[in-house]
Structure 1
Amino acid sequence: MLLLVHAALTFMLVGLILMVQWVHYPLFAQVGAATWPAYEREHQNRITFLVGPLMLAELLSAAWLTLHPPPALPSWSVWLGLVLTLLIWVSTALVQSPLHGRLSAAFDARLHRQLVVGNWFRTLVWLLRGGLCLWWLTLLL
């Protein structure tokens, strides 16, 4: 049951990161300088409320799966899942969050570009995690 919950969390986050990467972040450039600081502040509040609990639940369930892997899953794969999850957290803490912090004062096209380009790493890692969860589910079927 935990694997199903974990996979559902990962799939939700895959969908969310794809929407952010393809739609939301690129549209930041269209907001306008006058309204940017309020927009960025509201973005940070809303996205944290949505993403924070999902990421935390994904991390906790990945850790639990690593400590108590279902017998059908290769142990290396659950460790890989945890490592990928930790890479997402590190990228969020060291790249995306600081860039959002720097962008909160005023829109800067260079920082915006760094945010969009740098977020491809998280996007790809979450896609790998989604593929891993899909593989795990097929092993259990």
Structure 2
Amino acid sequence: MLLLVVHTASVWFCTGLVWVVQVLVYPGFAGIDRAAFTAWHDRHTRLMAWTVSGPWALQGVTTAVLLVVRPDGVPFWAAALAGVCGAVTVAVTVGVSVPCHRRLSAGYDDEVLARLVRTNRYRVVAWTAGGVVAAGMVLAAA
């Protein structure tokens, strides 16, 4: 059960963070003084990496373990679905979000920011769905 608790806590931490980023942080980029934007953005990305890397890594490790060892009552398909949700967050981050942040680190760009906000919705959906799956696994094991 500890495995599921750690998994669920890490997924829900990331879920809450991605919702705050979607609703507050990314839209707030537009209000940053353009002269200070690059330094501000670089600080944001550095601190965000520190904030999310531990919980996100825990999510990945616990998902991998759950694919091999599941508590009684937790079906394989639930662990596999958790894996798909996690994989989507990685794919969108690596394939879309990181390139957008790299472009923004060179200077503010309305189009790049709009793409970042628009495509971050996929991470919001994937992490939220992963949180629901994690909660379902806890209930199944209880």
TM interval, short-chain normalised: over 0.9
> Could you say which residue in structure 1 is the equivalent of 2:103?
102
> Could you say which residue in structure 1 is the equivalent of 2:34?
33
Q: Distance in 2 between matches of 1:75 and 1:82?
A: 11
> Could you say which residue in structure 1 is the equivalent of 2:83?
82
Q: Distance in 2 between matches of 1:34 and 1:52?
A: 29
* Residue-pair matches, total: 141
Q: Distance in 2 between matches of 1:5 and 1:78?
A: 14
* CA deviation after TM superposition for structure 1 residue 116, in Å: 0.3
Q: Distance in 2 between matches of 1:83 and 1:67?
A: 15
Structure 2 alignment gaps of length 5 or more: none
Percent identity over the alignment is 28
The range that moved more, 129-138 or 40-49, is 129-138
TM-score, with structure 1 as normaliser: 0.97
Where do residues 8-47 of structure 1 align in structure 2 (5 Å cutoff)?
8-47=9-48
Q: Distance in 1 between matches of 2:131 and 2:66?
A: 15
Q: Distance in 1 between matches of 2:139 and 2:3?
A: 15
Q: Distance in 1 between matches of 2:66 and 2:48?
A: 26
Q: Cα RMSD over matched residues?
A: 0.8
Segments ≥4 residues shifted beyond 2 Å:
none
TM-score, with structure 2 as normaliser: 0.96
Question: For the structure 1 residues 71 and 140, does the alpha-carbon distance in structure 2 shift closer, same or farther, using more than 3 Å as the test?
Answer: closer
* CA deviation after TM superposition for structure 1 residue 71, in Å: 2.3
Structure 1 alignment gaps of length 5 or more: none
